Amino acid sequence: MIMFRVEFSSRAKKEFDKLKEKRIEDVLEILKIDPIPARLYDVKKLIGLKDTFRIRIGKIRLFTQ
């Protein structure tokens, strides 16, 4: 099985540490296996950016490259 690496920008890491939502941790674990989990979450390709997607989890947005 191929495993992907999940990385945070320094600003994103600070914000993530403030969150208390288990859903975000679950998504990060899924991203290690499937970098574009469109079957499980609201995922959209961002127009004008190569290989960049947005994953919506309630009010929170995650971006993948």
Domain ranges across the chain: 10-64
In tens, the pLDDT along 8-49 reads: 889 988 988 888 788 888 888 888 888 888 888 999 999 999
* Token pair in block for residue 11: 């600003």
Q: CA-CA distance, 51 to 9, in Å (whole number)?
A: 18
Q: What is the pLDDT of residue 47?
A: 94
Q: What is the pLDDT of residue 60?
A: 86
Which amino acid would we find at residue 44?
A: K
The helix (H) or strand (E) run that includes residue 63 is: strand 60-64
0.85 exceeded by the pTM? no
